[in-house]
Amino acid sequence: ENLDKGLEKTKTSFMSKMSKAVAGKTKVDEEVLDDLENVLVSSDVGVATTIKIINRIEERVARDKYLGTEELNKILREEIAGLLSESETGEAANIQLPDVKPYVIMVVGVNGVGKTTTIGKLAHQFRSAGNKVVLGAADTFRAAAIDQLQIWADRTDVPIVRQKMGSDPASVAFDTVQSAVKQNADVVLIDTAGRLHNKVNLMNELTKVKRVMQKVIPNAPHEVLLVLDGSTGQNAFEQAKQFTAATEVTSLAVTKLDGTAKGGVVIGISDQFKIPVKYIGVGEGVEDLQVFNKYEFVDSFFK
Ligand code: GDP
């Protein structure tokens, strides 16, 4: 229900473009396919993924000889879901934690994408599920980032490890995992700085944060969660490219889907990067971070 509400703008815009593409047509022909291609590209699915989808539909048209436009929604829904299941390597997503304690999640992404909010929502959900959570404020470059995380720590009633602004992010990360081990915590969420202006700096910094954590927990972080702002459309692709080049990203969260018609970006990103989308943000409240389910996601477009 939250999901449908959260994706409403994307759905409305997508469905209205779709109905224009097939208006007055009974049969899927070249022209309808061209229009469909434009619909997908303008819905931020991305060119490469759009071409894959169109090819799949063309194959079906060629095989079945005839495809009625009234069936197009159903076929499209099947093909997109099929594409996503090929690209999604992760297990069926859920908020449960693997059997590793403490499970360390390093959260990365540029400023403003909703990193802190996502950490706060996750802290709330993990805690509600009965886990002991510790937050680490390793984005030490902005005082506001530390303060924001503190607000979430207070709101969700979980401990936070912080140092003063300007201190070494790796040192904060070290303190955080050490404290988590001492407290016998279940999960650690580490915020990091998202300055993208210098790729080498970003890479060095994330590498150092990881290396220092590993002095306490040899295979930490167990998860590197990249947060992307879905409302930026193609820019989110660009950020995913840069971060995956700088560090090994293992999961994705796409935020702010509620305020945008660019929700198709989730389809393109999961196809292009072969990294499971684990969470989507569909609002500012603590409950508005949802575990991503590709079938529900695609269904909510065509409902
Ligand atoms: P950070 O700089 O990446 O840590 O970004 P913040 O977590 O501070 O978020 C920036 C703004 O985006 C805040 O006003 C958040 O409330 C808002 N925000 C984050 N996630 C979502 C979302 O899923 N939907 C909406 N509508 N707003 C969001």
Cα torsion at 103, 238, 272, 223 (round to 10°)?
A: -10
Binding annotation: 109-116, 191-195, 255-258
Binding annotation for GTP: 109-116, 191-195, 255-258
Q: Say if ligand 1 is within 6 A of residue 255 CB.
A: yes
pLDDT in tens, 24-51: 999 999 999 999 999 999 999 999 999 9
- pLDDT at residue 194, rounded to an integer: 80
Q: Say if ligand 1 is within 6 A of residue 230 CB.
A: no
- pLDDT at residue 276, rounded to an integer: 87
- pLDDT at residue 91, rounded to an integer: 47
Question: Which ligand 1 atom sits nearest the alpha carbon of residue 281?
Answer: 23
Give the closest residue (by CA) to ligand 1 atom 20. 114
pLDDT in tens, 257-284: 998 989 999 999 988 998 889 999 999 9
**Which positions ≥6 away from 281 have C-beta within 8 Å?**
114, 117, 118, 121, 230, 253, 254, 255, 256, 257, 258, 288, 289, 290
Sign of the CA dihedral with 49 first, then 52, 56, and 58 last: positive
Give the closest residue (by CA) to ligand 1 atom 19. 114
Task: Identify the helix (H) or strand (E) that includes residue 9.
Answer: helix 8-22
Q: Terminus-to-terminus CA distance in the chain, angstroms?
A: 12
- For ligand 1, the distance from its centroid to the CA atom of residue 254, given in whole angstroms, is 11
Q: Say if ligand 1 is within 6 A of residue 108 CB.
A: no
Q: What average pLDDT does the chain have?
A: 91
Q: Say if ligand 1 is within 6 A of residue 284 CB.
A: yes
Q: Which residue numbers in the chain have pLDDT < 50?
A: 89-92
Query: Is 245 in a helix, a strand, or coil?
Result: helix
- For ligand 1, the distance from its centroid to the CA atom of residue 100, given in whole angstroms, is 29
Question: Which ligand 1 atom sits nearest the alpha carbon of residue 119?
Answer: 7
Question: Which ligand 1 atom sits nearest the alpha carbon of residue 120?
Answer: 7
Q: Say if ligand 1 is within 6 A of residue 283 CB.
A: yes
Specify the residue for token string 């909510």.
Answer: 300
- For ligand 1, the distance from its centroid to the CA atom of residue 284, given in whole angstroms, is 7
**Helix-strand-coil split of the chain, %, nearest 5:** 55, 15, 30
d(CA 174, CA 4): 40
Helix 72-87 crosses helix 47-64 at what angle (to 10 degrees)?
130
pLDDT above 90 coverage of the chain, percent = 72
Question: Which ligand 1 atom sits nearest the alpha carbon of residue 227?
Answer: 3
Contact 156, 144 (CB under 8 A): no
- The per-type count for the chain, helices as H runs and strands as E runs, is 12, 8
Which ipTM score applies to this complex?
Answer: 0.98
- pLDDT at residue 90, rounded to an integer: 47
**Which positions ≥6 away from 68 have C-beta within 8 Å?**
26, 27, 28
Task: Identify the helix (H) or strand (E) that includes residue 133.
Answer: strand 133-138
- pLDDT at residue 202, rounded to an integer: 85
Helix 169-182 crosses helix 199-213 at what angle (to 10 degrees)?
30
